[in-house]
Amino acid sequence: MTAGSSQQNAAGVLLIIHLYLYGSYQLTELQVCHLCNGTVQNSTALGQFCSASAGLIDGCCCLLRKENTSNADYIIGLDLSNCSLSHVEDLQEASTAAMIDISLNPIVQLNNSLFQGFIQLDNLFLPVNLACPGGNASWDKVEVKGETRHCEGQKDICNQTGHLSLNCPENSLCAAYGPGFFECSCIDDFHGYKCLREGKFPIVKVFGLLGASTVLVSILLWVTQRRKVKSV
């Protein structure tokens, strides 16, 4: 075999590996972008939003790349409109999206937690028979045009100051977690059930006790097993 043919074979192998890794990346990282055939059209609201945001179109998605990183695209827009979808189960890959369109689909019902964690979502287009997630009170504006319901301007379910909220227990802060959702986190120096314990979490004490217990149990098991071996 000549050196030239060896180089060609090596180049072919590298090309195959590259295509495989690229395909695997697209499949595992951006599955939601290929739930529908075709790509985002420039004439649509999402296409115009993507262009204005200097985004990159990949299938049904508008992507942005994180600064100073490679292969770290994240979704800012998702267009699944008119895709003959009868149900939508999981859109978590698009939880960073500011605009999502699933209108003009024969969807009868959506899971209540479908948009949980979608804190950036500001424009949502739905089939007219579906209500906005979290109810109309979770949005600044709800508008129906033809067969499409437009939920615009997600409201922060917590109070405007960001301080203690009636929705959360004492000694905790409320943070929006998607339309109609919120989460509570303990303020400084509080932890435990309903943030009732004050002071920093005793990491050294807790893990010290766990470590000592593990060592003690191991020694007891070792001694017990040795006795059984001797008796045999």
Tens of pLDDT, residues 40-52: 999 999 999 999 9
When pLDDT is cut at 50, 70 and 90, the band that residue 26 belongs to is: very low
Report pLDDT for 212.
78
- The percent of residues in the chain predicted with pLDDT above 90, rounded, is 51
Structure confidence by residue, pLDDT tens digits, 4-24: 555 555 445 454 444 444 443
Neighbours of 177 (CB within 10 A): 17
User: Is residue 32 exposed (0-12), middle (13-18) or buried (19+ Cβ within 10 Å)?
Assistant: buried
Helix (H) or strand (E) holding 62: strand 61-65
Does the pLDDT of residue 159 top 70, yes or no? no
Domain boundaries, the chain: 31-155, 156-208
The whole-angstrom separation of Cα 120 and Cα 97 is: 6
Structure confidence by residue, pLDDT tens digits, 77-114: 999 999 999 999 999 999 999 999 999 999 999 999 99
Q: What would the two tokens of residue 106 be?
A: 């024969």
The mean pLDDT value for 120-148 works out to 96
pTM of the shown model:
0.70
CA 62 remoteness from chain centre: 16
The whole-angstrom separation of Cα 158 and Cα 176 is: 6
Report pLDDT for 173.
87
Report pLDDT for 204.
63
The whole-angstrom separation of Cα 157 and Cα 150 is: 19
Helix (H) or strand (E) holding 49: helix 45-52
